[in-house]
C-alpha cells in the first residue's frame, strides 16, 4: 500500500501544469509514476521533452524513494528524529532490506544511506565532468546527478531522448553506468560484506554473497556471449560496428538485460532469438536487498543447484562447503513457477487484446515484471508500451508493481498466510 500511495501522489504531481509540456493523460501519469517508483524505466512519454525540469525532479525523487523502499526511507528519517521503533518496525525494516537478522539492523540502515550518498555523488561527479564536454556546466551537473541516481537504482530513465545511444563507444559511460548498475543490483548486504572483507574485519564472505557474486558474473559474461554470437553479423544491430564497439555494446546490453533500462543500441534491431534469451535474463534480474527486480540471482542459483543434485540423486544439496535448506530450494521453485505464470498470462492477455508482435510483447512483459525497463520501442523514442491501449498499460502497471513488491510477497498477500498444520498425514507414493 505504501508503494501504491507513492505512485498516486507522484502521478498527481506529474499532472500539475508546470510539471509537463502539452497534454498528459492520467493513465500516462500513473504509468510514468509507477515506472519511476518501481525503478523500471519503461516510458510512454519522452522524459526530456514531455516533462519540465520540475517534472524530471519529481521522477528522480520517485526513483530514489522507490529504489530504497518507502518503508526503509520512512524508518531512516524516523530514526534521525530520535523516534524509538518497536519490534514490528524492526521486522518491517528487516524484510524491506532483506537483512538476514534483527541484530544491528539500525546500524545497517545508516550504513546503507551513507553508501548510497557516497556512490551516487561519486557517480554524479564523474558523469557531470563527462557531460560537461557536450553541454553547459549547470546542465551537465543536472544530467550527471539524474543519470547517476537512475543507474544506481537500476531505473534506466534518461534525459536523452535516444537514451545513451550517442555514447555507445564512450569509455566513461560504458564503465561508470554499468558499475553503478552492478553496485545497485548486488544488494546492500553484499556491498557491506565486500567492504568489511577488504578491510580484513570479515574473514569469510557469506554463502549468500558468494552465490550473488558468482551468479552475477556468470550471467553478465553469458549474456555478452549470446548477444555477440547472435548479433555479430546482423547488419541492423552490431554488424556495421567495429569490434570494440560491438564488445562495448554487448557488455552494456548484457548488464542492462537483467537490471536497468539504459541502452546504447536499438533493441528493435535484435533477432527474435536474442530477444527471447533476453526475456530469460530479465526474469532472473538482480540480487535480493538491492534496487533490481526479477526473481533474483539467488533464486535462480538455488533452482539450478536443486536440479543438479536431484539429477545426481543426492538429497543434501550444498555449495561452497555449506548445506542448503531444501525448503529454500522449494521456495525458489515456487517463485519461478509463480513468476512464469504471471508473465505468461499477462503476455497472452496483451497479445489477444493488442494484436501486436508476440515476441516483442513478451519482451515488454518480462521487462515490466522484472522492473528492467529495456524495450524494443514504439518505432520512435518511447517504449513498446506506448502502442498499448489503456487496458494494456494497466496490465504493464500491475506487472511493474508486482515485480517491485516481490512476486512471493505479492502472492502471499492474495493467497494469505497458511495456518500451522496440527495433523500429519500418512506419506503417499507418487511416480514421476
Per-residue pLDDT reduced to its tens digit, 80-139: 666 676 667 677 666 666 666 666 677 777 788 888 889 999 999 999 999 999 999 999
Residue closest to 80 by CA, chosen among 98, 106, 49, 108: 106
- Cα distance between residue 220 and residue 237, in whole Å: 19
Contact between 178 and 252 (Cβ < 8 Å) = yes
Q: In the predicted model, is pLDDT for residue 79 greater than 80?
A: no
SS3 assignment, position 234: coil
SS3 assignment, position 154: coil
| Assigned C-alpha cell, 335 | 517463485
Least confident residue range of 28-37, 240-249, 306-315, 405-414: 405-414
- Chain segment 301-339, per-residue pLDDT in tens: 999 999 998 888 887 888 988 888 888 999 899 889 999
Contact between 373 and 40 (Cβ < 8 Å) = yes
- Cα distance between residue 26 and residue 48, in whole Å: 19
**pLDDT reported for residue 3:** 83
| Assigned C-alpha cell, 237 | 544491430
Angle between helices 70-80 and 53-68 (to 10 degrees): 90
Amino acid at each position: 500500500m505504501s508503494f501504491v500511495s507513492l505512485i498516486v501522489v507522484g502521478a498527481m504531481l506529474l499532472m500539475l501544469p508546470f510539471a509537463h509540456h502539452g497534454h498528459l493523460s492520467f493513465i500516462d501519469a500513473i504509468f510514468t509514476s509507477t515506472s519511476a517508483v518501481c525503478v523500471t524505466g519503461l516510458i510512454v512519454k519522452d522524459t526530456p521533452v514531455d516533462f519540465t525540469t520540475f517534472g524530471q525532479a519529481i521522477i528522480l525523487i520517485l526513483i530514489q524513494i522507490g529504489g530504497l523502499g518507502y518503508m526503509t526511507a520512512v524508518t531512516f528519517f524516523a530514526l534521525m528524529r530520535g523516534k524509538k521503533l518497536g519490534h514490528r518496525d524492526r521486522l518491517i525494516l528487516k524484510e524491506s532490506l532483506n537483512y538476514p537478522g534483527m541484530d544491528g539492523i539500525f546500524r545497517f540502515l545508516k550504513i546503507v544511506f551513507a553508501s548510497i550518498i557516497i556512490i551516487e555523488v561519486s557517480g554524479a561527479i564523474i558523469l557531470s565532468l563527462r557531460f560537461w564536454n557536450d553541454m553547459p556546466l549547470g546542465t551537465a551537473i543536472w544530467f550527471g546527478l539524474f543519470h547517476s541516481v537512475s543507474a544506481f537504482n537500476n531505473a534506466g530513465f534518461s534525459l536523452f531522448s535516444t537514451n545513451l545511444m550517442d555514447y555507445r563507444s564512450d569509455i566513461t559511460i560504458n564503465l561508470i553506468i554499468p558499475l553503478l548498475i552492478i553496485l545497485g543490483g548486488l544488494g546492500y548486504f553484499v556491498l557491506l560484506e565486500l567492504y568489511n572483507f577488504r578491510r580484513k574485519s570479515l574473514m569469510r564472505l557469506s554463502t549468500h554473497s558468494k552465490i550473488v557474486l558468482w551468479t552475477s558474473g556468470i550471467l553478465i559474461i553469458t549474456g555478452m556471449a549470446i548477444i555477440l554470437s547472435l548479433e555479430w553479423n546482423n547488419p541492423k544491430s552490431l554488424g556495421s560496428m567495429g569490434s570494440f564497439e560491438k564488445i562495448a555494446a554487448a557488455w552494456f546490453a548484457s548488464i542492462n538485460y537483467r537490471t536497468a533500462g539504459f541502452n546504447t543500441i536499438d533493441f528493435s534491431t535484435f533477432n527474435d532469438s536474442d530477444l527471447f534469451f533476453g526475456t530469460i535474463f530479465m526474469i532472473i534480474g538482480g540480487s535480493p536487498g538491492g534496487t533490481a527486480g526479477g526473481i533474483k540471482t539467488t533464486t535462480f542459483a538455488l533452482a539450478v543447484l536443486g536440479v543438479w543434485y536431484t539429477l545426481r540423486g543426492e538429497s543434501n544439496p550444498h555449495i561452497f562447503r555449506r548445506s542448503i535448506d531444501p525448503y529454500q530450494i522449494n521456495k525458489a521453485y515456487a517463485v519461478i513457477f509463480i513468476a512464469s505464470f504471471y508473465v505468461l498470462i499477462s503476455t497472452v492477455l496483451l497479445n489477444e487484446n493488442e494484436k501486436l508482435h508476440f515476441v516483442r510483447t513478451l519482451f515488454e512483459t518480462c521487462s515490466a515484471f522484472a522492473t528492467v525497463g529495456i524495450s524494443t520501442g514504439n518505432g520512435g523514442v518511447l517504449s513498446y508500451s506506448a502502442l498499448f491501449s489503456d487496458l494494456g498499460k494497466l496490465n504493464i502497471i500491475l506487472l511493474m508493481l508486482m515485480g517491485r513488491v516481490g512476486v512471493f510477497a505479492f502472492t502471499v498477500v492474495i493467497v494469505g498466510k497458511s495456518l500451522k498444520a496440527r495433523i500429519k498425514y500418512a506419506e503417499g507414493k507418487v511416480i514421476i
